Amino acid sequence: MSIATVRPDLPLATINPVAKVAATIPLSIGLVLTLDPVSAGVAILCELIVFTAVGLGPLLWSPRTLPVWIAAPLTGISMVLYGAPSGTTYWQFGLIEVSDGSIAIGLATMTRVIAIALPAVVLFLTIDPTDFADGLAQTLRLPARFVLGALAALRLVGSSIDDWRTLALARRARGVADRGVIRRSLGQAFALLVLAIRRGGILATAMESRGFGAPGARTWARRATFGAPEWRVIAVGCLVAVVSVSAAILAGSWNLVWS
């Protein structure tokens, strides 16, 4: 299943995933504090430049980021139609009121969604779940039992997708697939859950028999390092946040959402 595999030759693939997640946090905070198009627009520009510079340009325009490019305009449009009105009103129909104010809010929202979601999606595509688990357990010192349990559960996602297809075929074979889509889907979801729990039980026994959860210190076959490259990634993330916020303040569009 592609869900758990990442091409190891991608740029940034060797960076500790914890650093990649941390790098997106300052910008997200900055963009949530204000609702203006300048900060988010500058952030998107910076992101395009940075990702292209490190060689992740092709991922930016790959089908994997398509949901972001589709979802962002949709949220923007809904804000244009329903956002708090101010200034000239261009069109009104029931609750819908398109005005200068709602257009500005729509634009700010759309750019915001792109600026926050785009780096998250692109960076996540470079994160291998195994490396992420190593980072969470070794760098952030989260409990190994929890982190590795979640990681092992990923192994079941692939089999669950196959199970779902087979369950659908089996329902057709048993003569109950002509009507009641909703009720049948619920039953099928329940059956999937039962199968997943059974598989999970076997997996848990296999893990336990290999000493998982045994008392005593655990060692790590793969060392999650956190050094200069990781700090550089976080620094770039901070820099993008600072540039975006500064641009908004200089342009005079900076407006704290609660003011």
Partner 1 sequence: MTGGAIAASVPASIEARGWGWRHGGRSVPAVSGLDLRVDPGERVLLLGASGAGKSTLLHGLAGVLGGDDEGESLGELTVDGRPASAARGRSGLVLQDPDSQIVMARLGDDVAFGLENLGVPTDEIWGRVGAALEAVGLRLPLDHSTSALSGGQRQRLALAGVLAMRPGLILLDEPTANLDPEGVHEVRDAVARVADDTGATLVVIEHRVSVWMPVVDRVVVLGHGGVLADGSPDAVLVGQAAPLRAAGVWLPSDVPWRARRSTARDVEPLMAAHRLDVARVPRVPVQRGLDLRIDTGRITAITGPNGAGKSTLALTMAGLLRPDGGRLEPGAPMAGARGDEPWRWRSRDLLTRIGTVFQHPEHQFLTGSVLAELEVGPRALKMSAGERRERIAPLLAALRLEALTSANPFTLSGGEKRRLSVATVLATRPRMLVLDEPTFGQDANTWRELARLIADLRDDGVGIIAVTHDETFVDAVADNRFALGVVGDAAMTDAAARGRSQAGGASA
Kindly list the residues in this chain that would bind partner 1 in the complex (CB under 8 A): 1, 4-5, 8, 128-130, 148, 151-152, 154-156, 158-159, 163, 165-167, 169-178, 187, 191, 194-195, 198-199, 202-203, 205-214, 216-223
Nearest-approach distance from CB 194 to partner 1, in angstroms: 6
Nearest-approach distance from CB 139 to partner 1, in angstroms: 16
Nearest-approach distance from CB 211 to partner 1, in angstroms: 4
User: Closer to partner 1 at the Cβ: 141 or 174?
Assistant: 174
User: Closer to partner 1 at the Cβ: 202 or 235?
Assistant: 202
Nearest-approach distance from CB 195 to partner 1, in angstroms: 6
User: Closer to partner 1 at the Cβ: 87 or 213?
Assistant: 213
User: Closer to partner 1 at the Cβ: 218 or 232?
Assistant: 218
DSSP the chain: -GGG---TTSTTTTS-HHHHHHHHHHHHHHHHHB--HHHHHHHHHHHHHHHHHHT-HHHHTSGGGHHHHHHHHHHHHHHHHHSPP-S-EEEEETTEEEEHHHHHHHHHHHHHHHHHHHHHHHHHHT--HHHHHHIIIIIS---HHHHHHHHHHHHHHHHHHHHHHHHHHHHHHTT--SS-HHHHHHHHHHHHHHHHHHHHHHHHHHHHHTTTT-SS----SS----SHHHHHHHHHHHHHHHHHHHHHHHHT---BTT-
Nearest-approach distance from CB 122 to partner 1, in angstroms: 21
User: Closer to partner 1 at the Cβ: 4 or 96?
Assistant: 4
Nearest-approach distance from CB 241 to partner 1, in angstroms: 33
User: Closer to partner 1 at the Cβ: 33 or 168?
Assistant: 168
Distance in angstroms (rounded) separating the CA atoms of residues 61 and 65 = 7
